[in-house]
Amino acid sequence: MNFRSGCPIASALDIVGDKWSLVIIRSMVMGATSYSDFLKTPEKIATNILAERLRRLELAGLILQAQARRGSIRGTYALTPKGAGLIPALQALGQWGEQNIPGRWKCPDRFNAARPEDFPR
């Protein structure tokens, strides 16, 4: 990874500062685990972008592919503690969106109650 600077904020954005990464992680906090879960999402991510982002997030250590059933290459995705560490930032963004953009949905309680500790290992 090559970072624009040593700033922790700019560097965080070098990793998840695109249009989709945090949307994917949001979905995982809400319980999504499979490729098709992510596609069901109302934001309608394109399949090539989704596949590329899952690869990138895994490489960055934010998510990992758990072997679902033996013999299967493809599995289900789970947040790592590192990925779950972004939950507070997501919640802050959600708060901001609710309060500053008209007509947004409310973040479900399950989302606001989520804590990084809920995603160990």
* Residues near a copy of itself, by CB under 8 A: 3-15, 17-19, 22-23, 26, 41-44, 82, 85-86, 88-101, 103-107
**Which tokens sit at 114?**
């989520």
- Cβ at position 35, least distance to DNA in Å: 3
* Radius of gyration over every alpha carbon of the chain, rounded to an integer in angstroms: 15
Residue of 13, 30, 54, 78 interacting with DNA (CB under 7 A) = 54
**Which tokens sit at 74?**
């493809």
CA 114, 38, 86: angle at the middle one, nearest 5? 35
Which one, 49 or 92, has the nearer CB to DNA?
49
- Cβ at position 56, least distance to DNA in Å: 9
Tokens 């309060």 correspond to: 99
Tell me if 7 contacts DNA by CB under 7 A: no
Residue of 12, 13, 22, 35 interacting with DNA (CB under 7 A) = 35
Task: For residue 33, give Cα distances in angstroms to 2, 10, 43, 105, 115.
Answer: 29, 28, 16, 22, 17
**Which tokens sit at 42?**
């109302």
Where does this chain bind DNA (CB under 7 A)?
18-20, 34-37, 39, 44-49, 51-52, 54-55, 65, 68-69, 71-74, 76
